[in-house]
Amino acid sequence: MLSFRGSRHGELITITGPNLSGKTTEIERLLNSAHGIIWDPAKGESSNIVVAKHPRDDISNPGKIAGYPALETDDPDLIAKQVTKDTEAVVISGINFFEDPKIVDLLHALVLSNRKVYVAGHNLDWEGKPFNFMPQIMSISNNFILKDAPCMVQGCRLGATRSQKLSSSGERRCLIHHSFRGRPDVHIDRLGGLELFVGNMYASKTTAWYEKMKELDAKGIRYVVFKWSNDKRFSERGKEYRVFDKGVIGMNNHKASIPAILVRDMADVIRYIRGETGIDGLDSMNRKSPVGHIFIDEGQFIEGIYAGVRDMIYQGYRFYVTGLMRTFKIEPFGEMADLLTIADNISVMYAYCEACGQKATESQRLIVRNGQKSPAPYLDKDIAIGSKEADEDVTEVYEARCMDCMEIPGKPKGDYSFKPYVPLSNSRFALKVSKGN
Ligand SMILES: [Zn+2]
Ligand SMILES: [Zn+2]
């Protein structure tokens, strides 16, 4: 059970999953928990919760989410118009159907103004591809509720993560029973998947990821670990690494480090797994019994990771990927946004803000010039790891920061801006989201 009572900051929680997985029920439970406390439209009271739905969502119940009246619109502007100084939370169902990119800006502006935002919708379409702006929406989310329930094919009890198009409707299916034109060949005796370990810098993502390796070790399950070859932060000083060399991944809070195979991109990962590297050792073993569990560090740097993982999970591979969801610009990082939509488990880790001590969700980049720190401008590149300019002593460092303490000079203003919501000290409002079954 998640509860957000007393949290100072705005938050975006995305509730997602396939057809008939209980997303609307989750929203209904959320509204039930607020109902009776402050929200009673029957009495004509103005509500401090804005409730909206897209017209294509749950068309059998127009103008409502479960029993609650909802503003039915596909226009983000109309939702924005409902937001007053008293609006404490915004709930939107069918978020995947919005085709106007302003929906992403709207959600971000609401969070920046200290409001709680809950959205529900399909992460994926019938072909298992990201639905409209779901990657962007998920990449700016603070947390996720991934709904799952057993596959609806008779006799199958595997977890359903995909929506199967039927002649007049849809149902939830596991990867093995999900069919569409052009689907990769399915490995029928093992279920693939993707587990993500995300958060900002210094959020101990690697530590949680390492625990997963220990779990597999304890069960005697073989796995292989990959690391981006251009990231030299934990490499030995002065040593040049080449693709498929062994590198190490350091951990902030451990003395241990994790050995990893160095790769340039996802094509290298696939070549290695398929034993096409031309090097001996593990490869010749892999050809006979392929390693089904694959760990990839810093997924935001791995080009091609989304398409590679998307196809290989149908073939029974299980991926465990760490990564930053957002750049220092608070924008989607690499292909992490698309990966979020196909994950069946997302662990979100936080650090603490180095400026104010609150929960930190962001990574502040600072330029250090002759010992003086200043925030990196918006126009700087997304990736800058230990780069050094020739003429001056200039380096970049990062700090964990909360959204309020982020400084991004030159960042363009979005389409919306709301006056910050100031919670009453004796607020009667208490929204709770239950984690489902
Ligand atoms: Zn199934
Ligand atoms: Zn802060």
| Domains defined for the chain, CATH in brackets | 2-177 (3.40.50.300), 193-348 (3.40.50.300)
CA angle 197, 313, 206 (to 5 degrees): 20
- Cα of 182 from ligand 1 centre, angstroms: 19
**Which residues neighbour ligand 2 (ion) by CB within 5 Å?**
353, 355-356, 358, 402, 405
Do the Cβ atoms of 80 and 106 come closer than 8 Å? yes
d(Cα 164, Cα 142) in Å, to the nearest integer?
Answer: 28
Q: What is the pLDDT of residue 182?
A: 87
Query: Which ligand minimizes its atom distance to the CA of 164?
Result: 1
Nearest ligand by distance to the CA of 173: 1
CB 118 within 8 A of CB 89: yes
Residue 34: Cβ-neighbour burial (10 angstroms; 0-12, 13-18, 19+)? buried
Residue 179 CA to residue 427 CA, distance in Å, equals 49
Dist. CA 152 → ligand 1 center (Å): 7
Task: Report the C-alpha dihedral over residues 356, 360, 363, 367, rounded to 10 degrees.
Answer: 10
Three-state SS at 263: strand
User: pLDDT tens digits for 321-352?
Assistant: 999 999 999 999 999 999 999 999 999 999 99
CA of 191 to the centre of ligand 1 (A): 10
d(CA 234, CA 141): 29
214 CA distance to ligand 1 centroid (A)? 29
- 398-423 residues labelled b (16+ CB within 10 A) or e (exposed): bbbbbbbbbebeeeeeebbebeebee
3 state DSSP class of 198 = strand
- The reported pLDDT for the residue numbered 384 is 75
pLDDT tens digits, 160-192: 999 999 998 899 999 999 999 988 877 767 889
Using 50 as the pLDDT threshold, list the residues of the chain that sit under it. 1-6, 37-38, 233-235, 281, 283-287, 387, 389, 426-437
The pair of structure tokens assigned to 144 is: 């996720």
Residues with Cβ within 8 Å of 85's Cβ and at least 6 positions away in sequence, in order, are: 419, 421
Residue given tokens 């999900």 in the structure block: 178
Pairing of strands 362-369, 394-401: antiparallel
Tokens representing 367 are 């330029």
Distance 268 CA to ligand 1 centre (A): 31
DSSP 120: E
* Distance between Cα 91 and ligand 2 center (Å): 26
pLDDT at 273: 86
Q: Check residue 283 and give its pLDDT.
A: 46
Tell me the backbone φ, ψ of residue 91, rounded to 5 degrees.
-120, 125
The pLDDT value recorded for residue 147 is 95
Q: Is the dihedral of CA 159, 180, 124, 345 positive or negative?
A: positive
Task: Tell me the two tokens of residue 192.
Answer: 């693939």
pLDDT of residue 275: 79
CA nearest to 30, candidates 84, 62, 68, 64: 68
Q: How far apart are the CA of 401 and the centre of ligand 2, in A?
A: 5
Partnered with residue 133 across adjacent β-strands are none
Count of positions (residues) in the chain:
437
